[in-house]
């Protein structure tokens, strides 16, 4: 379940912060709650200090969380992707100080710097024809989306840039296991670098009833590869690709080909582990 993902807890100033979601999306009862706990003085147990309830709109589910010092970043989703920024500097009175709504959602949040946050998830198109449950509707997920957020001002988070890889059906192991992401922080001369494995689906199917204008249309498999990007204060730039499975490989199924894929970045060298094989390249190179 979503509540079993990593980074749902964080320790700060002697307090334990835990974020959970309850209820269901289909009937609009889902809600996200931040609970703040501390160690009780008498019996070595945890006692509840306070909660922040009702985070997100009715029907939205918690997709991603990250606790970084005096801040918490939460992503909920049903129709759009609200990114919430919480101030934890006063642990007994945490507050929501910022909010940003964009299309799609993030499954994983990664700190790039003190002012930059990277979200990796899926793009999404609102479903105008979905049934209305208690005033809420759904959306159709699309390709894998990378979003770069400026969080220097916690009261006004902004999306600096976004990149969408592939069409509906595209997957990445990073969405389920953050160990699939390789990251090198920025230096004085180089921007931050990341690499993620991707099963790319953007081949138009050959069957005659395929409708490219339909938001729920799946695209056929194209290839599997390690995509590399550079991140700075203004944009996300693709900086290389190593194929795991060459283009032209047959297959339309949604079976994960990048399951268990990992990579390592060492200076300008890129190493990609795919299905028991190790491939290598230099940073910035593509086939």
Token pair, residue 169, equals 């059906």
> What are the boundaries of each domain within the chain?
1-165, 178-287
Token pair, residue 187, equals 């230096």
pLDDT value of residue 134: 46
pLDDT value of residue 19: 95
Q: How wide is the angle at C-alpha 18 spanned by C-alphas 17 and 20, nearest 5°?
A: 155
The candidate with the shortest Cα–Cα distance to 122, out of 140, 146, 138, 145, is: 145
The candidate with the shortest Cα–Cα distance to 216, out of 106, 122, 126, is: 126
Which residues make Cβ contacts (< 8 Å) with residue 179, sequence separation at least 6? 262
Token pair, residue 104, equals 């799609």
Which helix (H) or strand (E) is 6 found in, with range? Answer: none
Token pair, residue 134, equals 């208690």
Per-residue pLDDT of the chain (287 residues; tens, 9 = 90+): 455 678 999 999 999 999 998 876 656 667 899 999 999 988 889 999 999 998 988 778 889 999 999 999 999 876 555 899 999 999 999 999 999 998 888 999 999 999 999 999 999 887 766 555 444 456 788 999 999 999 999 999 999 999 999 999 999 999 999 999 999 999 999 999 999 999 999 999 888 888 988 888 999 999 999 999 999 999 999 999 999 987 766 555 555 677 899 999 999 999 999 989 999 999 999 98
Q: What are phi and psi of 280, to 5 degrees?
A: -135, 155
C-alpha to C-alpha distance for 264 and 186, rounded to whole angstroms? 16
**Direct distance between the N- and C-terminal alpha carbons of the chain, in angstroms, rounded to an integer:** 37
How many CB atoms neighbour CB 258 within 10 A? 23
Residue that has been written with the tokens 């990073």 in this structure: 174
Stated pTM of the model:
0.90
Token pair, residue 124, equals 């999404």
> Distance of CA 56 to CAs 21, 51, 101, 137, Å?
10, 14, 11, 14
pLDDT value of residue 79: 59
């Amino acid at each position: 379940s979503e509540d079993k993902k990593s980074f749902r807890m964080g320790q700060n100033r002697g307090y334990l912060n835990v974020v959970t979601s309850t209820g269901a999306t289909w009937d609009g009862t889902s809600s996200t709650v931040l609970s703040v706990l501390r160690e009780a003085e008498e019996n070595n147990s945890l006692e509840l200090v306070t909660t922040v309830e009702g985070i997100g709109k009715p029907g939205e589910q918690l997709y991603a969380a990250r606790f970084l010092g005096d801040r918490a970043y939460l992503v909920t989703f049903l129709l759009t992707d609200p990114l919430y920024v919480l101030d934890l500097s006063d642990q007994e009175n945490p507050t929501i100080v910022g909010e940003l709504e964009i299309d799609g959602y993030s499954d994983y949040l990664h700190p790039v710097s003190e002012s930059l946050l990277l979200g990796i998830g899926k793009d999404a198109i609102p479903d105008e024809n979905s049934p209305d449950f208690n005033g809420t509707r759904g959306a159709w997920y699309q390709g894998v989306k990378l979003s770069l957020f400026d969080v220097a001002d916690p009261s006004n988070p902004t999306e600096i840039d976004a990149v969408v890889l592939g069409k509906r059906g595209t997957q990445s192991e990073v969405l389920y296991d953050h160990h699939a992401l390789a990251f090198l922080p920025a230096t004085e001369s180089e921007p931050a670098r990341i690499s993620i494995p991707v099963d790319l689906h953007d081949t138009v199917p050959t069957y005659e009833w395929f409708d490219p204008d339909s938001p729920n249309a799946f695209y056929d498999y194209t290839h599997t590869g390690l995509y590399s990007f550079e991140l700075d204060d203004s944009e996300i730039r693709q900086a290389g690709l190593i194929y795991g499975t060459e283009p032209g490989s047959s297959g339309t199924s949604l079976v994960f080909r990048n399951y268990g894929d990992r990579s390592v970045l060492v200076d300008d060298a890129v190493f990609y582990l795919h299905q028991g094989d190790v491939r290598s390249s230099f940073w910035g190179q593509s086939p």
